[in-house]
Amino acid sequence: MRSVLPVCSIFGIFGLSSDDDHTTLRAHAVELSRRQRHRGPDWSGVFADDGAILVHERLAIVDPASGAQPLRSRDGRLALAVNGEIYNHRQLRDGLGYDFTTGSDSEVVNALYRSTGGTGFVSELNGIFAFALWDRDRQAAIIARDPIGVCPLYWGHDAAGRLLVASEMKALVDVCDDVAQFPPGHVYDTATGELRRFHHRDWREHDATAGTTIPPAALREAFEQAVHRQLMTDVPYGVLLSGGLDSSLVAACAAKFARDRVEDDDRSEAWWPRLHSFAIGLDGSPDLAAAATAAEMLGTQHHGFVYTFEEGLDALPEVIRHIETYDVTTIRASTPMFLLARRIKAMGVKMVLSGEGADEIFGGYLYFHKAPSAEAFHDETVRKLDALHNYDCLRANKSMMAWGVEARVPFLDLEFLDTAMGIDATAKMAGAGRIEKHIVREAFDGALPDEILWRQKEQFSDGVGYGWIDGLKDHAELVVTDAEFAEAAARFPHNTPETKEAFLYRSLFERHFPGTAAAATVPGGKSIACSTPAALEWDPEFAALADPSGRAVRGVHDQALDV
């Protein structure tokens, strides 16, 4: 049975009445969905009945010749639009007694809903997803988003009170005054009005992990299987390879499985058996050099792209329009990723594996060296995971999907997450001669060159070249006047920019996304290297930091560790 993966965008309008002009509303829905068609340029599908309209923009990754959405049940009662992937769909299919109409991984959502009659089934899904399911008989929609928020989803109400959902905010911002992010790990039933969290894990509490250890070989196997689950594709794919630990481990695992076809349990040769890797940076950047070293050992067909500061600067307005945030760190890192995605798309590649999530799970950011206890360390990893949908997941998804390239994130596979987050944080802690993510490096001993396996953490926006961040700061000083910056609090009373660089990004964001509701979709708080009140207590120096770059954690970035 073939898997049809609906990587795409979704759009829905719910709560239509008999008084509505359904023909006009259908055309309106198609037009609004068109704003996010970059996410799914291969095909569009529309479902409409008396109570709902669903639009699906598809990026075909597996079985490109079929798999049109929205997916209908055989009896026509259910209609489903999904953005994402359900990795365990084959296991879930068994015993459901549902009359499947496709081989799609997504159709298991319809089947589970039909068999349970409620929303509890969502907790059984292992995948990344945002979906809207319409039940014609109940005249109700079920809306859900994956536990980490890898797939974006927004919602709001139009002037007539109808509920709208969309993969990106740009489809809703001038239609819904109350536009907001749909919360990760939640499911909503329009019939009951209940929004509830469906993802609960004991490992969120430190005490539940105390004393739990795992052999290095078992940790390695768990991650290799996470990568294997995500190698479902019938189109050219690759790996993002910055030369840092996380992306290099993803590449190493992908290279192990690249020759066999996951869709038939590795019984035949993959359609695209040669693994391609991609990196980007300014001329002479640390990442380009490290990526070339890793690629040479792994035997990938490597593509290292150089961009200029001016090219990055020219892209800033478009980057902010696509990623829908004014967060400084996210914009710095999204810009080279956006440029890289364009080059990848030009080569005919439609899917890449990426290394997001490892730093949150294993405490890889440099300020974790300052953690005063295992409990504080663990609590901070949970907090960072909870915030990922606003930062690295947002960056990876939207920067890549701006050009119709899907980014998969195996470190955030839910099965692997349960394994890794269940480990006592004592085994993850850095400092006292232990480099960050020591437990992961030990597990993959021999899989990478030592200069890669034991390379210290670089923020992506640092690794592409230190001249990138410094140049952005200098540019902001030139284009934002002192008078403008002095009025920052009056112009932007919500999340007031603290630097001229932040003011510049906020101004560009406002052009595309005006209004307080849009501004509120971006997290507030002081832009510091750790950006968390708890970590401010770890070292008084953090309180004085206005620059979110990893370099700002003085005494850690420049520290030579004995490992």
Catalytic residue positions, numbered: 8
What are the DSSP E strand ranges found in 137-212? 140-145, 154-157, 163-166, 180-181, 186-189, 194-197
- What Cα–Cα distance (Å) separates residue 326 from each residue in 320, 505, 521, 523? 7, 5, 10, 9
Q: Which of 469, 467, 436, 468 is nearest to 454 (CA)?
A: 436
CA dist 113 and 138 (Å) reads: 13
Question: How many H helices and E strands in the chain?
Answer: 21, 17
What SS3 class is residue 472? Answer: helix
- Answer for the pair 277, 300: CB distance below 8 angstroms, yes or no: yes
Please report where in the chains the tokens 């509830």 appear, as a residue.
196
Q: Which of 533, 554, 556, 555 is nearest to 543 (CA)?
A: 533
User: What DSSP character marks residue 434?
Assistant: B
What SS3 class is residue 134? Answer: strand
Q: Which of 410, 59, 454 is nearest to 69 (CA)?
A: 59
- Answer for the pair 388, 357: CB distance below 8 angstroms, yes or no: yes
Angle separating helix axes 245-257 and 216-229, nearest 10 degrees: 70
| Rounded to 5°, angle at Cα 561 from 289 and 376 | 110
- Answer for the pair 88, 433: CB distance below 8 angstroms, yes or no: no
CA dist 369 and 377 (Å) reads: 9
C-alpha atoms less than 13 angstroms from C-alpha of 475 in its C-beta half-sphere = 17
- Answer for the pair 62, 70: CB distance below 8 angstroms, yes or no: no
Contacts for 533-541: CB closer than 8 Å, 24+ residues apart: 534/376, 534/379, 534/380, 534/383, 535/367, 535/370, 535/371, 535/380, 537/372, 538/367, 538/370, 538/371, 538/372, 538/376, 539/367, 539/370
Tokens of 77: 């009662």
Q: What are phi and psi of 10, to 5 degrees?
A: -125, 155
User: What DSSP character marks residue 189?
Assistant: E
CA dist 94 and 383 (Å) reads: 36
Q: Which amino acid is at 66?
A: S
| Rounded to 5°, angle at Cα 489 from 483 and 491 | 75
Q: Is the dihedral of CA 557, 452, 128, 125 positive or negative?
A: negative
